[in-house]
Amino acid sequence: MSILLSDISKNFGAFAALNHINLEVPEGELVALLGPSGCGKTTLLRIIAGLEHADKGRVIINGEDKTDQNVSERGIGFVFQHYALFRHMTVFENVAFGLRVKPRRERPTDYILSQKVHALLELVQLDFLHDRFPDQLSGGQRQRIALARALAVEPSVLLLDEPFGALDASVRKDLRQWLRNLHHELNVTSIFVTHDQEEAMEVASQVVVLNHGHIEQLGSPSDIYDRPANAFVSRFIGQTNIFDLEEHDADWLQTAGILNPHQEAKVAHVRPHDIIIEKSTRGHTAPATLKDWQHLGALIRLELVKNSSNGSTAPVFAEMPNDQFKQLALNKGDKVDLKIRQAHWFH
């Protein structure tokens, strides 16, 4: 089911949490709301769910105006950051809850209910835990139970608030993969909130970048990465080197080969992998010196110091594949030539 948000605003006292948000999520998408903490992403999710009410604007789910409906009538599934499982109920009863509270006419018989709950528990691969209590489960298991519980009522949209935020790194990686596969299988329109750009890029089909209560950019992960709409998005997504022309980096950029004479924008953002490094034979006139490097698995990150005396002294980071780095046979303190393949320019 599609979700349409029109002109949503929300203030907490004098603080404007959301400012005229317009967003359309087509049916079947898996969308990430991405942004730094305090950007309003969780508030937006809670407004879609009906756990919070917007001061202004409408929430339309599948063509139906849900703005004035209570959370219990919206037919959404919500997954909380800290799971919010019912501590006094077994795993089975947790998942069954949404079915048991249905009005009598719609309530399934015990047999159908039990079948449905077990099917959901199998979907999250935890049926063997059905008679345990939440306190006896690990974080990853709890989150999967929370998801099964939300899916039990066959929600038209699934909303997840930092679903992996409280988990450790390895469990997190597995669950991301798993969530994407699950979404592929169920195809229910889903929105999840995260502050982790890697998570957003890995899981989502569309990413919404939020900052200070408004949308900075909306697009596919590759759009956001390759064509950032502004300096904030460019800085927030992935690693970026920032060169400011007003801080006398012009000469240096000229040497690096990306400055054209008709350049209007003042600030260049360069991805580390867009910097090509070669050993220099120029001695002291070489543009940079290799200070240090770090292994990032398949990639090597090189930390370079600019040699120009009048520029800013911030280090420049470049990345290249491991074997390429071995071929260059560089040592700490070596002078290097560098070429910048492309830059994003912002005012």
Partner 1 sequence: MSKSSIMPGFRPALVFTLIYLSLIVLIPLSTLVFKSFELNWDDYVRIITNKRVLSSFQVSFSSALMAAVIASVFGFITAWVLVRYSFLGKRFFHAIIDFPFALPTAVAGIVLATIFQPSGFLGKILKEAFDVQVAFKPLGIVVALIFISIPFVVRTVEPVLLEFESAMEEAGASLGATRLQVFSKIIFPNVFPALLTGFALAFARGVGEYGSVIFIAGNIPYVSEIVPLLIVTKLEQFDVEGATAIALTMLVISFVLLLLINVLQYWVRKRSGQL
Give the nearer residue to partner 1 in terms of CB position, either 80 or 345: 80
169-186 vs 139-151: helix crossing angle, rounded to 10? 20
Helix (H, G, I), strand (E, B), or coil: what is residue 268? strand
* Residues whose CB falls within 8 Å of the CB of residue 232, separated by 6 or more in sequence, listed in order: 209, 211, 216
* Residue 35 found at the interface with partner 1 (CB under 8 A): no
* Residues whose CB falls within 8 Å of the CB of residue 327, separated by 6 or more in sequence, listed in order: none
Cβ atoms 230, 267 nearer than 8 A = no
Q: Rounded distance, CA 121 to CA 242, Å?
A: 48
Give the nearer residue to partner 1 in terms of CB position, either 90 or 312: 90
Region binding partner 1 by CB under 8 A among candidate stretches 37-45, 71-79, 266-274, 334-342: 71-79
Question: Which tokens belong to 231?
Answer: 């300096």
Q: If binding means CB under 8 A, how many residues of this protein chain bind partner 1? A: 34
Chain positions 107 to 136 lying near partner 1, rule: CB under 8 A, are: 133-136
Q: How far is the CB of 27 from partner 1 (least distance, A)?
A: 20
Chain positions 147 to 166 lying near partner 1, rule: CB under 8 A, are: 149-150, 152-153
Q: Report the chain's C-alpha Rg in angstroms.
A: 25
Give the nearer residue to partner 1 in terms of CB position, either 133 or 225: 133
Give the nearer residue to partner 1 in terms of CB position, either 48 or 259: 48
Amino acid 213 reads G
Q: Rounded distance, CA 85 to CA 258, Å?
A: 55
Give the nearer residue to partner 1 in terms of CB position, either 82 or 227: 82
Q: How far is the CB of 128 from partner 1 (least distance, A)?
A: 17
Chain positions 291 to 310 lying near partner 1, rule: CB under 8 A, are: none
Sole binder of partner 1 in the list 80, 178, 225, 345 (CB under 8 A): 80
110-123 vs 139-151: helix crossing angle, rounded to 10? 130
Q: How far is the CB of 19 from partner 1 (least distance, A)?
A: 25
* Residue 40 found at the interface with partner 1 (CB under 8 A): no
Chain positions 164 to 223 lying near partner 1, rule: CB under 8 A, are: none
Give the nearer residue to partner 1 in terms of CB position, either 84 or 229: 84
Q: Rounded distance, CA 270 to CA 13, Å?
A: 39
Q: How far is the CB of 158 from partner 1 (least distance, A)?
A: 11
Give the nearer residue to partner 1 in terms of CB position, either 98 or 272: 98
Give ∠ CA 268-274-277 in degrees, rounded to 5.
Answer: 115
Give the number of other Cβ atoms within 10 Å of residue 87's Cβ. 9
List % helix, strand, coil for the chain (3-state, nearest 5): 35, 30, 35
* Residue 78 found at the interface with partner 1 (CB under 8 A): yes
Question: Which tokens belong to 236?
Answer: 């927030």
Cβ atoms 215, 41 nearer than 8 A = no
Give the nearer residue to partner 1 in terms of CB position, either 50 or 228: 50
Give the nearer residue to partner 1 in terms of CB position, either 113 or 215: 113
* Residue 88 found at the interface with partner 1 (CB under 8 A): yes
* Residue 12 found at the interface with partner 1 (CB under 8 A): no
> What does residue 343 show for φ and ψ, rounded to 5 degrees?
-135, 155
Sole binder of partner 1 in the list 28, 38, 57, 98 (CB under 8 A): 98
* Residue 86 found at the interface with partner 1 (CB under 8 A): yes
The residues that touch partner 1, with contacts defined as CB under 8 A, are 49-51, 70-73, 75-78, 80, 82, 84-90, 97-98, 100-102, 133-136, 146, 149-150, 152-153
